[in-house]
Amino acid sequence: MTTGPHISDDRPFRFTLALARDLSVVITLSVLALYAGSGFLIPLALAFLSFVLITAVSDRVSAAVGAPVWLANLVGVVLVLAGFFTIMFVIGGQATQFARAMGNYETALDGAVTRMVALFGPEVTGIVRDTLAGVDLSRLARGAVGGATYALNTFLLVSLYVAFLMVERRTLQHKLLLAAGDRRLGQDMASVMTAISTSLQSYLGVKTFISLLTAGISYVVFRLLGLEFAETWAVLTFALNFIPSIGSIVAVIFPALVSLVQFDSVTPFLIIVLFCGTVQFMIGNFLDPALLGRSLNMSSFVVILALTFWTVVWGLIGAFLSVPLTVCILIVFSHIPALRPVAILMSKDGRLSPET
């Protein structure tokens, strides 16, 4: 009588240890694969997100004007890729100008440090001076040009991936059903893909609108102040708003520091910090949650954890992709009974969205 309960109690314990061991091995190998295969996986992830955004645009064009599917897809491809190309063109064009003007910034740093003494005090200024002394501005300029070249090459590869994904769009769901072998499994796989597409379309649509609004307001401020490379800082403001929490802070710090070097007065610095910082705060804490609503039902701690993880694995691009990739993981977990409790823990309030 005592042996039976002992065996039944012991089996779940052994199963839990085995499951923990297997999960540890799978997670370790997955992280290593993500890190080692970043050169291949990053363009693929960017292509998938671009495909989702193009799909959202084409579906709305088709619903709004009743255009044929092929025409709506063409409009979506042209609009999204043209937007990406514009960003690459602005950054690439002004990276060269930034490299040429780097000598002027080197001579202006001493004056900026002097103005910082009056603004922040000698202690903080001494720390900043020591930090700037170890910065090689020429190397920074070369890195900016090299980064722009890498972004352009990645854009071309992503465009190629997106073209083939658009060709495969109409037959993808049918192929999933055939590949699954079982009709119910195929329907579950199609349901996961639909939920991922719906959530990512909502997230990317809202974040694109919010980032455009923030970048537009910031660009007006930069132009009125006469800040150099205003277009670059506006594009970076747009892009950095896709990085949760810290992106909006960095988007204010960069142009503010440049204004401190460029101008003889601290007034432009204070305007950028106070006005643009207030805009970022108001939009990020009120407009962003109101528009996203429950479409991004993810814990704030999970968002920060995902940001840290994907940044360590994939660098800066991983920071941009951290939220979309984690949304995909959350949806996949919610469709697997054994991992559904993990999805509930990852959610904001314990309730999974209707799409999942």
Query: Greater confidence, 112 or 300?
Result: 300
**pLDDT at residue 7, rounded to an integer:** 38
* The pLDDT of residue 225 is above 80: yes
**pLDDT at residue 220, rounded to an integer:** 94
Average pLDDT score over residue span 242-265:
84
**pLDDT at residue 96, rounded to an integer:** 62
Enclosing H/E stretch for 183: helix 183-225
Lowest model confidence (mean pLDDT) among 94-108, 279-293, 340-354: 94-108
Query: Greater confidence, 8 or 350?
Result: 350
Annotated domain spans of the chain: 1-36, 39-171, 181-356
**pLDDT at residue 218, rounded to an integer:** 93
CA–CA dist 55, 173 (Å, integer): 14
Average pLDDT score over residue span 161-172:
82
Q: Both tokens of residue 277?
A: 């910082």
Residues 162, 164, 165, 167: what is their CA dihedral angle, to the nearest 10 degrees?
A: 130
Distances from the Cα of 148 to the Cα of 142, 258, 317, angstroms: 10, 20, 13
Q: Which residues contact residue 57 at a Cβ distance below 8 angstroms, ignoring those fewer than 6 apart?
A: 75, 76, 79, 80
The string of pLDDT tens digits covering residues 28-82 is 898 899 989 888 899 999 888 888 888 888 888 888 777 787 788 888 888 888 8
Cβ atoms of 344 and 65 within 8 Å: the answer is no
**pLDDT at residue 343, rounded to an integer:** 85
* The pLDDT of residue 2 is above 60: no
Average pLDDT score over residue span 146-156:
70
- How sure is the predictor about 114, in pLDDT bands with cuts at 50, 70 and 90? low
* The pLDDT of residue 125 is above 60: no
Whether the pTM exceeds 0.85: the reply is: no
**pLDDT at residue 353, rounded to an integer:** 59
Cβ atoms of 328 and 200 within 8 Å: the answer is yes
Query: Greater confidence, 245 or 318?
Result: 318
The string of pLDDT tens digits covering residues 285-326 is 788 777 775 556 788 888 889 999 999 999 888 888 898 898
